[in-house]
Amino acid sequence: MGQNKISGKIPPELGSLTKLELLSLESNELSGEIPTQLGDLKLLYHLNLSNNHLIGEIPRSLSDLSELQYLDLSTNNLAGKIPEWLGNCEGLLSLNLSHNIISSEIPPELGNLASLRYVLDLSSNLIFGEIPSSLSKLTMLKILNISHNNLSGSIPQSFSHLISVSCIDFSFNNLSGSIPTFRNTPKSVYDGNPGLCGNSTGLKPCRRQTNKSNTVLIIVMGVVCGLVVLVTAIVTTLILCHKFKVLAKQRKSSNQKDTHQSLIWEKDAKFTFGEIVEATEDFDDKYCIGKGGFGTVYKAILRSHELVLAVKRLHMSDSSDIPEVSRISFENEIRTLTEVRHRNIIKLYGFCSRKGGLYLVYQYANRGSLAKVLYGSTDLDWDSRVKIVQGLARAISYLHHDCSPPIVHRDVSLNNVLLGFDFVPLLSNFGTARLLIPDLSIWTNVAGSYGYMAPELALTMRVTEKCDVYSFGVVALEIMMGKHPRELLESLSSARSKTLFATMLLKDVLDQRLLPPSERLSMVVVLVVSLAFSCTRSRPESRPSMHFVAQELSTRSRASMISEPLRTITIEKLAELQYQ
């Protein structure tokens, strides 16, 4: 339902659907408060209202959902407190309240959620107070994220008992004191907490306690040294005052000339960033053509070069906030992506750091996102859809098998596929991409779009090419079905649904807004759907490589594997086809 971009308020009448077990309304334009009537859905085990514009507090009535296992209210404007009654939801496996404006302490009652197995994410809120030690009882938890809040005090030493945690994040709070002992925890977990110390790369070691006599001696020496430093500082200040004034004038003159702190540009580009600034009138709002999770996009028409560009200004208040190591890594990735050359990958002209902001300059795609076209009209006929799937497969195959080192996109979704003239697909938005070094396991934070993310990534955090293969399969099915295949994929993984799929026909699953594909195209559509099913298998090692998928879609050598007509082919038969 989330892909239809539903707007307005959540209808309270949903509470009358008492037999409903799954309610997923994420990534829409829903507003208003969460209706209390949702508490009447006694059989509900999965509730996802993320990525909307919901306001108000989390209603107490949700405590009546005794069967609830998955609760995701992230990326809204929910306020108030984290409800204490959440600690009574004993069946919860995953809880995500991140990216809201919740302002309260973390209730110790959350430590009673012994069944929490996957995610506890409270990040990017206004949560204050100390971290309750009771959370150390969540011994089965895989992901714990309480970053980007106003938490204070120390990290409980009992957190070292969280032996199942594969991803934990305390960054950007006001925490202090010694850190607990964790396995292989990167420094980024503690960034933004200058008071933390301990045995971790990048953290200062904790000082040992001294006895009283030593403390007195240290204080006396500190006072004496302080007086010496003060006198020295005064003299030095008087001597250097004139030099500082000269430097200030030089900086002011430099700023007036609009120099760029950092500039990475494609070798063959014949335009400058200054021309882009002039074409957009210094990024005036009237040139804005879109806003997303990573930044605001502007359209720049360079008439002297007969060129149209898309410029993304990343959502960062000041580029100086980025640690130097992260900046170097980011710029190295940009240099690599400017070298990428493929017909189905958006062209990245370059990157600029200017006045504290970060800008990425891309090729402009006149038709916008595939999501907008697929759900906004019926212009996409079967031939165009097949060509889009083929082009996307070739793009990902190029990243995985023709780039050195290989590039994993990590966020292949309908919103990140743009369409140019003649509906040519262009894979875009490498904002979450990371380079993969061969024979090296990369462990990172969960990234990607909900509904497209490979299931193993949320559990193991291990990024491989097979994560992109899964996302490609979801997108290919969505293109063929005209809607997100969430329910279909969930049912395929359920043993209870095997009987249903033995009789469910492919023709009834395809986009009903179009007439059935012609006889010429029907076999290719069957091939696309069967390959998509193989890409979305739950076990990564059972999925084919993107090189294989792209080759099969181009040669269509297996298009005749099923000789029977489209009207009689079942979903079960397609899902069971084996590809090596």
User: Which residues belong to the active site?
Assistant: 411
**Is residue 419 classed exposed, middle or buried when 0-12, 13-18 and 19+ CB atoms within 10 A define those classes?**
buried
Tokens 């960034």 — which residue?
191
Q: Which two tokens stand for residue 69?
A: 């296992």
Which residues in 154-172 are b (16+ Cβ under 10 Å) and which e? bbbeebeebeebebbbbbb
Q: Are strands 143-145 and 119-121 parallel, antiparallel or unpaired?
A: parallel
Q: Give the whole-angstrom CA distance, residue 475 versus residue 389.
A: 8
Check whether the bond before 565 is cis (ω within 30° of 0): no
DSSP symbol at 548: H
How far apart CA 407 and CA 396 sit, in angstroms, is 9
> What crossing angle do the helices spanning 519-535 and 382-401 adopt, rounded to 10°?
40
SS3 per residue for 386-446: HHHHHHHHHHHHHHHHCCCCCEECCCCCHHHEEECHHHCEEECCCCCCEECCCCCCEECCC
CA distance linking residue 550 with residue 556, whole number of Å: 10
| Matching residue, tokens 């380079």 | 435
Q: Which residues are paired to 427 by β-bridges? A: 345, 417
Is residue 123 within 8 Å of residue 172, measured between CB atoms?
Answer: no
Among residues 362, 365, 378, the alpha carbon closest in space to that of 420 is found at 365
**Partners of 426 in the β-ladder:** 418
Residue 288 CA to residue 300 CA, distance in Å, equals 9
Q: Are 12 and 35 in contact (CB under 8 A)?
A: yes
Residue for token pair 């600029």 = 352
Rg, Å, the chain Cα set? 27
Hey, what are 52's tokens?
A: 């909307």
